[in-house]
Amino acid sequence: MRTVSGVLGVLTLTISVYGQAFIHQKLGENFIQVGTGILSEEGLPFWSAELIAGNLDVFKITSNTNLTASILGSSRLANPVAYHPTAGLMWEGSGSALGASNTDVFVETTNLSASVLGTGRYAFGFKFTTAGQPVWYGSGSGNSNQIDIFLGATNLTASVLGSSRDAIPAALNANNQLLWDGAGTNLGVNRDVFRTNLTNLTTTNLSQTPLGNNRFAVAVALNANNDAVWYGAGSANGDYNDVFFNSTNVSFPAIGGGNIANPRDAVAFDVSGNNLTWNGRSATTSQFYDSFATTVGGGTVNMSQSVLGNGRDSYPIDIEGASVLWNGIGANTNNYDVFVTRPGATRNLSQLRFGGGSTPGVREGYGVAVFANGNAFWVGKHSTTNAKAHLFHYNWANNSSTNLVQEAVNRDADAIYLAHNSAEQVLWAVPNSAGTRYEVYLSTPNIATNLQGTVTIAGFVGDTSQIALTIRQYDPYTGSVAATHTGNMNSGGAYSIAVTPGLYDGLRITAPRCLARNIPGLRRLLGATTLNFSLTLGDVNGDNVIDDADLLEVLFNFGSSTTNPVDLNGDGVVDDADLLIVLFNFGAQGD
């Protein structure tokens, strides 16, 4: 059984009930508090939690490894930031081992910031480039106590901003384009938005021309085409906050002019392709804050005005493709609700789940994330959840929400969202049944999932479709078998076997005539996963070793016609070929 920092884990197997929308796996427990988390695109979870009072550490699977205790010393405070398949985990932390006034950025166990920033430092992680180079920012004696952005040890912002620097990263896309905003003496009294190409380190000021003088600009997001979304004010736009897509002002045409009595104010939130979402108010919205979706080259839609009515307030949460997740309240709903808007349709997820119409104060809903297909994660509470905030997954096609808390633990408790990925997996935490400590869960969509590939069995000449493979999936927390599935290969040695979705720490594969094979490593099974492997012939009696007992079985049956495992090569007769297989592999043991 595996342990969490010396705390004995309770045996917990994967829940795999037919008809469930998700497979829920417990990854850790007995935490006093839970902090933040990340979930890689490959489904690898990392989170911060307090297992020992006064110390917030970073944990990972496998074995719920505490990554930070041995590095930071006592009085620890650490959080995961980003993950790269080659570079590993980026995290930030402080503790007695770093000195009382220092916070550093690490990739795995390497301290990136101490040698760069010097003393009196504080540093924060950000993201990785596609090649695994870390981008982070911070201040210390080594950079004259300015706030700079770094690529590894390279200062990206000092030469651009001059002295009195303050630079914050906002977005990094797959083209290694970094969007950031900053101020410094080189800009005068202005704060600008910049895009830096991290391949050749060229930097472009995006906000200076659109805003004119007296600028204050904030970077928000980049799309895959390097288009920047930001917002800001300056002399060129009347000193009102506007939202920009590159240099195009998208909010002014939508919400109009502005004066002292009726100013306009707009803030950008996110972008996906040529679709962006933002929040704004002006005389056009009666000074109520509305949520907007703009398609560049298309038009702008006020998502909240007709839905919420008078006395409204709303803001966007997320956008993917043409799907927007947003929150709002108004006279038409009288509750703080969560909505998904897609072309031609807006749905109130919390009202749909909880009911209550426009009766004031009966429900609450808060958006977390949306996907291009309209599916979404959200948190909500209502009398049916015992006024506890449960985590939900909304399915647009079915127009319904699944309560993940009830599916996973079947109790009413306040869930803590930690992270999600594009596969619609979600990492979250919930108090235990006693309500005294927290458990961490990974929930994976319960969709059709196959392990497939080709099996090589040296020396086997028969019909491989007669060979059944048994696959055992190991729970990453307990190390126990979480699921077992069996299926046959086809006549060409290929296989495709339905397995249980989720995260597993190793697979064990067995087949008649062959030694067992362990496939180590942490891997997600979701949809179709290809795994090619080989098996070793010679284990006639199935004890997972090739020895005298197997040799005697072959000799005892020598000359007989059979399809039993004693016919090791599958040609229908026990002969010299089978004897040679045993002798050639004699002494081998399976995993």
Looking at the predicted structure, is the pLDDT value of residue 59 above 60? yes
H/E/C letters for each residue in 212-245?
CCCCEEEEEEECCCCCEEEEEECHHHCCCEEEEE
Q: 63 pLDDT band (50/70/90 cuts)?
A: low
Sign of CA dihedral 185, 187, 193, 194: negative
70 SS3 class:
helix
DSSP state for residue 488 in the 8-state scheme: E
The answer to whether 199 and 156 have CB atoms below 8 angstroms apart is no
- How confident is the model over 431-438, as a mean pLDDT? 95
The answer to whether 242 and 258 have CB atoms below 8 angstroms apart is no
The answer to whether 473 and 524 have CB atoms below 8 angstroms apart is no
Cα–Cα distance list, 121 to 127, 152, 157, 191, 389 (Å): 19, 16, 17, 23, 38
The answer to whether 385 and 4 have CB atoms below 8 angstroms apart is no
Length of the chain as a residue count: 591
Percent of the chain clearing pLDDT 70 (strictly above): 96
Q: 432 pLDDT band (50/70/90 cuts)?
A: very high
The answer to whether 61 and 476 have CB atoms below 8 angstroms apart is yes
Domains in the chain: ranges and CATH: 312-398 (no CATH), 450-584 (2.60.40.4130)
Q: pTM here?
A: 0.93
pLDDT at 7: 27
Give the DSSP per-residue string, 433-486.
TTSSSEEEEEEEE----EEEEEEEETT--S-GGGPEEEEEEE-TTT-SEEEEEE
Helix, strand, coil in percent for the chain, rounding step 5: 15, 50, 40
Alpha carbon distance 123, 106 (integer Å): 10
Looking at the predicted structure, is the pLDDT value of residue 62 above 70? no
H/E/C letters for each residue in 308-338?
HCCCCEEEEEEEECCEEEEEEECCCCCCEEE
The answer to whether 415 and 493 have CB atoms below 8 angstroms apart is no
pLDDT of 115-165, one tens digit each?
Answer: 999 999 999 999 999 999 999 999 999 999 999 999 999 999 999 999 999
Sign of CA dihedral 135, 138, 140, 142: positive
pLDDT of 495-510, one tens digit each?
Answer: 999 999 999 999 999 9
Q: 348 pLDDT band (50/70/90 cuts)?
A: very high
Exposed, middle or buried, 545 (CB in 10 Å: 0-12/13-18/19+)?
middle
- E-strand spans in 511-563? 513-514, 517-525, 528-530, 533-535, 537-539
Which residues have a Cβ under 8 Å from the Cβ of 159 and sit 6 or more positions away?
none
